[in-house]
Amino acid sequence: MPDRIRLDGKVAVVTGAAGVIGSATIRLLAERGARIVAVDRRGADLKTAVKDLPASAEALTVEADVTREDEVADYVRAAVDKFGTVDVFYNNAGIEGDIKPIWEYSLESFRKVIDVNVVGVFLGMKHVLPVMLKQNKGSIINTASIAGLMGSPKIAVYSASKHAVIGLTKTASWECTGTGVRVNCVCPGMIDSRMLSTILQGRSGGNEPPPMDRIVDRIPARRLGQASEAAIVAFLASDDASYVSGSHYTVDGGRTAA
Ligand SMILES: NC(=O)c1ccc[n+]([C@@H]2O[C@H](COP(=O)([O-])OP(=O)(O)OC[C@H]3O[C@@H](n4cnc5c(N)ncnc54)[C@H](O)[C@@H]3O)[C@@H](O)[C@H]2O)c1
C-alpha cells in the first residue's frame, strides 16, 4: 500500500493551469501519477507550466476561454480524444475583477467576473459531467475561495461569484445522486500570489498595502499559504475520497475559524 495519495493513470483536466495555483496543482497531480490536460486562455504560459512535468503526465495543453461554450466543448473533446476519458476535473480558472466598492463598480466589470467565475465553472461541469456519468465515475473539484464563505470588502462580485461556486458544487453533487461521480470544492484563503497582491494593492487605494505582519495577524497559521499546499485537491481527486461529495474545504491556515 503506497503511503501517499496516488493518482496513477488518472486523466486530470485542469483549467487556469497557467496561473499560480493551477500550475502548482498540475505539478502536484502529475507527481502523484496523473496524466494532465492543462487548459488556459494564455497559451504561451501554458507551455511553460507543463514544461518540467514528469513524462508520465503526457501533458496536453489546450488554449481555451472558459466562458465560451464551443471552446469548453473543445477542451473536453481534446481530453477524451487523447486519453479516452476524464477522471478528474479541477475547475479552477478565475479572475478577481476590479477592486472597488459596489457604488463604484461598473456593470460591465461585474458581468465579466460572473462570466469567468460562475459561467466558466458551470460550462466546465456541463461538458465534463456527461463523460463522467457515462463511466459512472469521476471527481470534480471546483475552486471557490474563503470569499465564498464571507463578505470581502471591495471584491463584492468576486465574493458573490465564489458563493455561487459553492452553490453549483452542492447542486451538482445532488444531481449525481446514485452515481460514482463526486463533486466538491476548495476554498483557498490568502495564498502568496499575484491575485492576492492585486487585491491588497487595490484595497489600499494606491497607498502602500498594510505590512504583511498585520495581514497575517488574522491568520492562525501566521503566514500566507503557498500554492504548493494544495494536497487536498489530490485527496479529493483520488479514490481515497470515495465517500466525499458536496463539500467545501477551506485551505486557509485557520483564517475562517470562528
Ligand atoms: N490567489 C489566491 O489567494 C486565491 C485565493 C482563493 C481563491 N483563489 C482562486 O484560485 C483560482 C486560481 O487563482 P490564482 O491565484 O492561480 O490566479 P491566477 O490569476 O494566477 O490564475 C488564474 C488563471 O486563470 C486563467 N483564466 C482567467 N480567465 C480565463 C478564461 N476566461 N479562460 C481561461 N482561462 C482563464 C488565467 O489566464 C490564469 O492563468 C481562481 O479561481 C481564484 O479565484 C485564489
pLDDT band at 3 (very low <50, low <70, confident <90, very high): low
Strand partners, 182: 139
Residue 157 covered by a domain? yes
**67-101 confidence digits (pLDDT tens):** 999 999 999 999 999 999 999 999 999 999 999 99
Q: pLDDT value at position 209? A: 87
Residue 117 covered by a domain? yes
Residue 212 covered by a domain? no
Residue 1 covered by a domain? no
Averaged pLDDT for residues 40-68: 98
Pocket test for ligand 1, best of 194, 195, 248, 252 (most atoms within 8 A of CB): 195
pTM over 0.95: yes
Q: Grid coordinates 460562475 are at which residue?
A: 118
Q: Grid coordinates 463526486 are at which residue?
A: 182
Residue ID of nearest Cα to ligand 1 atom 39 = 19
8 A C-beta contact, residue 184 and residue 246: yes
Rounded alpha-carbon distances, angstroms, from residue 253 to 66, 122, 147, 190, 219: 30, 28, 14, 9, 6
- For residue 159, give the amino acid letter: S
Residue ID of nearest Cα to ligand 1 atom 18 = 19
Domain of residue 81, residue span = 11-190+226-251
Cell numbers describing residue 64: 481555451
**8-42 confidence digits (pLDDT tens):** 999 999 999 999 999 999 999 999 999 999 999 99
Helix and strand element counts for the chain (H, E):
9, 7
Q: pLDDT value at position 1? A: 54
Residue 219 covered by a domain? no
**Residue 67 CB less than 6 A away from ligand 1:** yes
| Residue 146 per-residue DSSP state | G
Cell numbers describing residue 10: 488518472
Residue 40 covered by a domain? yes
In three state form, how does the secondary structure of 105-135 look?
CCHHHHHHHHHHHHHHHHHHHHHHHHHHHHH
Residue ID of nearest Cα to ligand 1 atom 3 = 191
The residue among 12, 23, 17 whose CA lies nearest residue 41 is 17
Residue 178 covered by a domain? yes
Output the domain CATH number for residue 88: 3.40.50.720
The residue among 250, 141, 122, 117 whose CA lies nearest residue 195 is 117
Residue 48 covered by a domain? yes
- C-alpha to C-alpha distance for 233 and 247, rounded to whole angstroms: 12
**Residue 195 CB less than 6 A away from ligand 1:** yes
Number of domains in the chain: 1
Q: pLDDT value at position 2? A: 61
